[in-house]
């Protein structure tokens, strides 16, 4: 698949409402502040991929910008139910719950989840220490031998899509050939889409493009580490 500009992506989406690439187009509209189109693309795409983390995150951002904070909160909670390692969504949920004036224990639980994902997050450390009275100094991570560490939100969570079976039909029909994307269309949203479909080599290629564009080195390194971990886990299975 060769997508070089927005028009080509729009034309492709018009003929393929079930494409896994819908969040990429929605993200473009969101960046252009075209909230109406961003929402429409998300709603269409999520009918075919109801738990897609990238699509849900963009939809939550649209709701937030339109002032629909309760809807944004609900969408983020659904996202984190299926993709608990989505740090940006976890942070957005904390922000929205604070603005909505949610119960302290509820907000504390959300900040603990952020701290679980990023032990060095200063705001999360300060909140948990001040409100929860807990020591938040990050400890040296040790690889668990057999026991799986659960996040504070894990009581209601199902397995992340990363641990579920991939949609191999979509992979074969849509992304069988190398994905050629122009630097303009290379985004972290595209990385997320590819990663969620188990297309790790292509996700790494997009990260290389983002690196050339001068995007956040920290975010790129984090995504690379995540993908490498997923690849290692697949090899073990």
Q: For the full predicted model, state whether its pTM sits above 0.95.
A: no
- Tell whether 196 is covered by a domain: yes
**pLDDT at residue number 143:** 42
Count, residues in the chain: 237
Backbone torsions φ then ψ of 158, nearest 5 degrees: -95, -175
- Tell whether 99 is covered by a domain: no
Q: What is the mean pLDDT of residues 75-104?
A: 95
Q: What is the mean pLDDT of residues 39-63?
A: 96
- Tell whether 169 is covered by a domain: yes
- Min mean pLDDT across 36-50, 98-112, 192-206 is at 192-206
Task: Output the CA–CA distances (angstroms, integers) from residue 222 to 79, 111, 153, in the order listed.
Answer: 19, 20, 21
- Tell whether 108 is covered by a domain: no
**pLDDT at residue number 2:** 59
**pLDDT at residue number 123:** 93
**pLDDT at residue number 6:** 87
- Tell whether 10 is covered by a domain: yes
Number of domains in the chain: 1
**pLDDT at residue number 147:** 37
* C-alpha span between 193 and 215 (Å, rounded): 18
**pLDDT at residue number 136:** 61
Structural domain that includes position 214:
2-84+153-236
- Tell whether 188 is covered by a domain: yes
- Tell whether 51 is covered by a domain: yes
**pLDDT at residue number 194:** 86
DSSP 26-48: HHHHHHTT-HHHHHHHHHHHHHH
Q: Which of 20-34, 132-146, 158-172, 223-237 has maximum average pLDDT?
A: 20-34
- Tell whether 122 is covered by a domain: no
- Min mean pLDDT across 7-21, 93-107, 126-140 is at 126-140
Backbone torsions φ then ψ of 3, nearest 5 degrees: -115, 110
- Is 80 exceeded by the pLDDT of residue 7? yes
Helix (H) or strand (E) holding 2: strand 2-3
* C-alpha span between 10 and 24 (Å, rounded): 10
- Min mean pLDDT across 134-138, 145-149, 197-201 is at 145-149
| CATH code for the domain of 187 | 1.25.40
């Amino acid at each position: 698949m060769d997508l070089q500009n927005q028009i080509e992506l729009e034309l492709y989406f018009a003929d393929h409402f079930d494409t896994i690439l819908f969040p990429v187009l929605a993200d473009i509209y969101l960046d252009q502040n075209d909230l109406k189109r961003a929402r429409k693309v998300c709603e269409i795409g999520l009918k075919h991929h109801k738990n897609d983390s990238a699509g849900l995150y963009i939809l939550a951002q649209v709701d937030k910008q339109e002032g629909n904070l309760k809807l944004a909160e609900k969408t983020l909670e659904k996202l984190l139910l299926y993709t608990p390692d989505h740090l940006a969504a976890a942070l957005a949920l904390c922000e929205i719950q604070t603005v909505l004036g949610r119960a302290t224990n509820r907000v504390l639980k959300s900040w603990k989840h952020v701290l679980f994902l990023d032990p060095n997050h200063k705001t999360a450390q300060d909140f948990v220490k001040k409100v929860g009275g807990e020591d938040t100094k990050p400890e040296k991570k040790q690889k668990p031998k057999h026991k799986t560490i659960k996040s504070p939100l894990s009581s209601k969570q199902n397995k992340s899509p990363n641990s579920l079976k991939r949609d191999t039909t979509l992979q074969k029909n849509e992304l069988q050939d190398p994905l050629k994307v122009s630097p303009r269309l290379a985004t972290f949203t595209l990385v997320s889409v590819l990663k969620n479909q188990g297309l790790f080599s292509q996700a790494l290629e997009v990260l290389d493009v983002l690196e050339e564009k001068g995007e956040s080195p920290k975010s790129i390194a984090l995504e690379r580490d995540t993908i490498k971990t997923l690849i290692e886990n697949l090899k073990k299975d």
